[in-house]
Each structure stands twice: as C-alpha cells, then as structure tokens.
Amino acid sequence: MVTIDKIKQLRQKTGVSVLECKKALKETGGDIEKAKEVLRKRGKEIAQQKSQRETGQGIVESYIHANKKVGILLELNCETDFVAKNKDFQELAHEISLQIAAMDDEEIPLLRQPWIKDESKTVKELIEEYISKLGENITIKRFTKYEI
C-alpha cells in the first residue's frame, strides 16, 4: 500500500520528485527498499539519455584537507546556471572533492572508484543519482590534486 508517509520517506532518502516516488512505490507494492532500487535503475536510464547534452555551466570547487597537506580543485559542469547555483549540485561538487582527496589508487579512474561514504556504489552512480534528482547532465570537466 502506498501512503503519503511512505512517499515522503522515499523522497527524503532519494531526493527524487514526489510523482516519481509515488510511481516507484506503486510499482513495488509499497516496498521502500525495492522502490529505491527502481529509482536507481530509472536514474541510470535518465543519466544515459541526458549524457549527450552539453554541459556549459558549472562551478569550481576547492577543498583543503584539515591537515593542510592535500588540496583539490574541481570543475564540475552542468547544463544551466540555475542548477550550478543549486545547493544539491554544490554538495555533489564537495563530495567529489572529498573523494579525490581520499584517492589512494590513481590507476582506477575516478568514476569507477567506490564512493568513500558508501562503497556499494561508484562515483559514477553517485553522479547518476544527482542527474536524476536535478534533471540535467552533470560532468566532471577536470580536477587537480595538490599534495605536500
């Protein structure tokens, strides 16, 4: 059974629109965990569709680790300046900067690395979640890691 509380709970966990949460819960008979998986699959499909769109806007995120020995500059791009100013987009840029700062094995490309806060997903899957959430293509243009 799909209730408003379940829709609200799924939305809080995923950040996906109320309508999409409702559809996923209906499809899974009200099971939140299965609905999260449905939304994750849809997110990948949405990201695939949007991957050809040009990403001409974005931000440059800077991060300096507390030990002052690692610094990151990251250019994260999206389609519009509205999304670039969005706190979720800025949060993603910060999360990716933390990931880069924590990178030990430079041989594994950034997008294929397990995300440091949830190793059950890759950085690419994290970005796909934000693409689904924000409705725009998002790309990592470039980044630099400085170490002392």
**pLDDT tens digits, 81-130:** 999 999 999 999 999 999 999 987 677 899 999 999 999 999 999 999 89
Residue 91: how many other CB atoms lie within 10 Å: 11
- Give the Å distances, CA to CA, from 128 to 48, 68, 135, 143: 9, 31, 10, 19
**pLDDT tens digits, 4-62:** 888 888 888 887 888 888 999 999 999 989 998 888 888 788 878 888 889 999 999 99
| Per-residue tokens: 32 | 């939140």
Domain residue ranges of the chain, discontinuous segments joined by +? 4-50, 57-147
Homologous superfamily of 57-147 in CATH? Elongation factor Ts, dimerisation domain (3.30.479.20)
Can you state the angle between helices 32-50 and 18-27, rounded to 10 degrees? 120
Query: What's the pLDDT score for residue 105?
Result: 65
| Structural class in CATH, domain 4-50 | mainly alpha
* 6 vs 141 pLDDT, higher one: 141
Residue 51: how many other CB atoms lie within 10 Å: 13
How far is residue 144's CA from residue 133's CA, in Å, rounded to a whole number?
27
